């Protein structure tokens, strides 16, 4: 049985994630208290023929009941019952904006005099250990509902396995480093197509920009060392039991060099049999 526990910050998209998982065949339960997760797991296991893919959402809406999260997860682990944890995150600014737009009440705001900003910060502190122990971390700050659904499908549309999957993200440093990044590669040291007037309006997805970035001595030297690092690190992460590795490749604006190198990374890993995907976070930003 494939069993996924979805948690994360309020407003980060857990409800949308649950709907997306239902669309790809998961049986989903929202707002399940952590103490009931082992009991529910056993019930689902008895009906594995009809409930082979299950996802439960648990978060701070459970109040005091949410404090049993780690106890529940440890109980499953001790009994040898496999599960994955998907943690949804977003920046404080985005979370505050989403709550203001929807006029929803944050589950922790009542105890803070109604302060939304303080509630978001408190919840982030409370959930930091859960984020650290999650198998998948997804930053939804810049996601549309369709993009979130696409990322969910990338992770869970095929049967999940214990093998490592790698998600490559290109980004611009001026827009901030992706929160979910495990490895961050700074390629601002490489030749910049921005200074070529013909290439400036294009992106690293265009063949002439890609060739400009990739076919020079500096990039060849970088790629040789970069791929050796990946070849060394991936087996170590897999041995450690990590399910997803997020490799973020950044340049100044996220249009040219980072896009070309993120595409290269995804293709390189795919050719070696690693399940890899790529997202260009800032390619449309100016």
pLDDT, mean over the chain: 91
What range does the domain containing 218 cover? 165-280
> Would 221 be classed as within a structural domain?
yes
Q: What's the whole-number mean pLDDT along residues 183-205?
A: 96
The total domain count for the chain is 2
Q: Secondary structure of the chain: what % helix, strand, coil (to 5)?
A: 50, 20, 35
Shared domain for 151 and 27, answered yes or no, is yes
* Contacts of residue 54, Cβ cutoff 8 Å, sequence gap at least 6: 1, 2, 3, 4, 26, 27, 28, 29, 41, 44
Shared domain for 19 and 139, answered yes or no, is yes
**pLDDT per residue as tens digits for the range 266-279:** 999 999 999 899 99
Sign (positive/negative) of CA torsion 180, 182, 187, 189?
positive
Confidence of residue 166 (pLDDT cuts 50, 70, 90): very high
Shared domain for 101 and 18, answered yes or no, is yes
Task: Give the domain CATH number at 27.
Answer: 3.40.50.300
Whether the pTM exceeds 0.75: the reply is no
* Contacts of residue 22, Cβ cutoff 8 Å, sequence gap at least 6: 28
Residues 160, 111: contact at Cβ < 8 Å? no
């Amino acid at each position: 049985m494939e069993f996924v526990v979805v948690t994360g910050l309020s407003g980060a998209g857990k409800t949308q994630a649950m709907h997306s998982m239902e669309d790809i065949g998961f049986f989903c339960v929202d707002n399940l208290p952590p103490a009931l997760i082992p009991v529910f797991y056993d019930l689902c296991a008895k009906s594995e023929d009809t409930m082979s893919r299950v996802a439960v959402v648990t978060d701070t809406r459970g109040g005091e009941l949410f404090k049993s999260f780690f106890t529940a997860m440890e109980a499953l682990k001790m009994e040898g019952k496999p599960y994955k944890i998907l943690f949804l995150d977003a920046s404080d600014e985005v979370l505050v904006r989403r709550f203001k737009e929807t006029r929803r009440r944050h589950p922790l705001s009542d105890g803070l005099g109604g302060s939304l900003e303080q509630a978001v910060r408190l919840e982030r502190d409370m959930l930091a250990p859960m984020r650290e122990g999650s198998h998948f971390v997804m930053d939804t700050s810049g996601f549309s509902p369709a993009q979130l659904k696409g990322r969910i499908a990338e992770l869970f549309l095929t049967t999940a396995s214990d093998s490592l999957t790698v998600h490559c993200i290109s980004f611009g440093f001026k827009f901030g480093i992706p929160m979910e990044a495990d490895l961050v590669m700074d390629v601002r040291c490489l030749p910049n197509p921005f200074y070529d007037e013909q290439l400036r309006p294009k992106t690293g997805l265009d063949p002439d920009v890609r060739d400009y970035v990739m076919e020079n001595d500096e990039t060849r030297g970088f790629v040789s060392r970069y791929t050796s690092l990946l070849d060394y690190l991936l087996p170590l992460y897999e041995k450690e039991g990590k399910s997803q590795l997020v490799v973020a490749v950044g340049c100044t604006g996220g249009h040219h060099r980072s896009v070309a190198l993120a595409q290269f990374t995804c293709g390189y890993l795919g050719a070696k049999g690693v399940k890899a995907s790529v997202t260009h976070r800032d390619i449309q930003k100016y």
